[in-house]
Amino acid sequence: MRQGQNPAKKINTVTKPERITVAILNYIPFLSGFYANMMEVLKACLGSIWANTDTPYDLLVFDNGSCKEVKDYLVKMQQEGKIQYLIFSEKNLGKGGAWNLILDGAPGEIIAYSDNDCYFYPGWLSNSLKILESFPNVGMVTSRPLAGNEIFNTKTIEWAQNTPGAKFYRGKFLDWETFRSFTMSLGHSEEETSELYKDHEDLRVNFNGLTAQIGAIHYQFLAYKKVLKEFLPFDMDRPMGQVRQLDVRVNEAGYLRLMTAEPFMQNMSNEVLKEYKPVEQAAKKPAFYKRLRELKAIKWPLMRIYDWIFGLYYR
């Protein structure tokens, strides 16, 4: 038999979630090898959100099976009131499985999604939100411009070329440092990046006095939750490598895929930006050992061995 009455019945109000949920997907299975610096990368990512977000939001962190040290840190941050929603998965569900939970369960009307290795600059959310709310039928907005693949943006290009009031531009609008900083963060050498820069072409559109770069990326974007739910669930049988499903589905559904014309975010990968400065201040020529490890004769066999070991224990 019940003992007394539940005191929660006397509570007349509940806290409503903010309109925007900033959602971070985190996966750090151990703190060595590729992941040696990832705890600091995660701290830099979250720190940049806490310091540089200028619009009300709730922070949701979905941890996809990280090690104890990382989980302890996240619990501490929630206890300090810096994380509003914290979800732990016992096992790595892959990005598709995590997206199914995050994009369906985030309480906000708008979801600002990011992997755990993005560093956000001041004004990132307000400037992304401006594009989301100023352009019609937007599917995704990424907080920096980058060279995209036109195959994932055919509907956006079609809209920009055929909509009254929209002005479509094709040319080279990204300066070298903006292009270089992001492209090299994906693992390309400076020589490879230089070759890519020579051949790349940017697509932009101006609408209602606001200019946006055409394209978006699946590891950081702003979107309406109701739009994202149209593409659920994601069925992926690998932890990574199939995330283009989101890009394809958004484009095929006719939604616009856009980016801010100025960089408000930088990819850190597995190395923290020097002193958390914007990349134009932090970029330096790689040291000798870094150039040495990028040589294909050294990098290829070592990465094959590393991939085999990682797969043996964590796949």
HEC readout, 45-66 = HHHHHHHHCCCCCEEEEEECCC
The pLDDT score that the predictor gives to residue 284 is 38
Q: What angle do CA 142, 262, 182 make, to 5 degrees?
A: 65
Helix axes 38-52, 68-79, angle to 10 degrees: 20
292 and 228, same structural domain?
no
In this prediction, residues 220-224 reach a mean pLDDT of 98
Q: Residue 280 — pLDDT band, cuts 50, 70, 90?
A: very low
Q: Residue 148 — pLDDT band, cuts 50, 70, 90?
A: confident
For residue 202, being part of any structural domain is answered with: no
For residue 5, being part of any structural domain is answered with: no
For residue 30, being part of any structural domain is answered with: yes
For residue 153, being part of any structural domain is answered with: no
For residue 219, being part of any structural domain is answered with: yes
The pLDDT score that the predictor gives to residue 142 is 98
Residue 196 clears pLDDT 80, i.e. is over it: yes
Q: Residue 162 — pLDDT band, cuts 50, 70, 90?
A: very high
241 and 306, same structural domain?
no
219 and 308, same structural domain?
no
Q: Residue 243 — pLDDT band, cuts 50, 70, 90?
A: confident
Question: 3-class SS at 201?
Answer: coil
Is 259:179 a contact under the CB 8 Å cutoff? no
Number of compact structural domains in the chain: 2
89 and 41, same structural domain?
yes
In this prediction, residues 81-108 reach a mean pLDDT of 96
42 and 127, same structural domain?
yes
27 and 94, same structural domain?
yes
Residue 80 clears pLDDT 50, i.e. is over it: yes
64 and 40, same structural domain?
yes
Q: Please tell me the least confidently modeled range out of 7-11, 159-163, 265-269.
A: 7-11
Q: Residue 184 — pLDDT band, cuts 50, 70, 90?
A: confident
Q: Residue 58 pairs with which residues in a beta bridge?
A: 21
Question: 3-class SS at 22?
Answer: strand
Q: Residue 158 — pLDDT band, cuts 50, 70, 90?
A: very high
102 and 28, same structural domain?
yes
What whole-number percentage of the chain has pLDDT above 70? 81
Q: Please tell me the least confidently modeled range out of 19-23, 155-159, 297-301.
A: 297-301
225 and 134, same structural domain?
yes
140 and 222, same structural domain?
yes
In this prediction, residues 71-86 reach a mean pLDDT of 98
The pTM score is: 0.84
298 and 217, same structural domain?
no
Residue 147 clears pLDDT 90, i.e. is over it: no
In this prediction, residues 43-66 reach a mean pLDDT of 97
For residue 198, being part of any structural domain is answered with: no
Of 258 and 272, the structure prediction assigns the larger pLDDT to: 258
The pLDDT score that the predictor gives to residue 71 is 98
In this prediction, residues 99-103 reach a mean pLDDT of 96
Question: 3-class SS at 226?
Answer: helix
In this prediction, residues 19-47 reach a mean pLDDT of 96
The pLDDT score that the predictor gives to residue 264 is 97
The pLDDT score that the predictor gives to residue 53 is 97
Model confidence over 281-296: pLDDT tens digits?
Answer: 333 334 455 556 556 6
Torsions phi, psi of 241, nearest 5? 95, -10
265 and 298, same structural domain?
no
In this prediction, residues 88-114 reach a mean pLDDT of 96
Cα(264)–Cα(146) distance, rounded to whole angstroms?
11
Strand order, beta sheet including 20-26: 85-88, 58-63, 20-26, 110-115, 220-224, 138-142, 256-260, 210-214, 202-207, 166-171
For residue 165, being part of any structural domain is answered with: no
In this prediction, residues 125-139 reach a mean pLDDT of 98
What distance, in Å, lies between the first and last C-alpha atoms of the chain?
Answer: 48
In this prediction, residues 87-100 reach a mean pLDDT of 94
Q: Please tell me the least confidently modeled range out of 36-45, 117-126, 183-192, 240-249.
A: 240-249
Model confidence over 59-75: pLDDT tens digits?
Answer: 999 999 999 999 999 99
Domain containing residue 239: 20-144+213-272
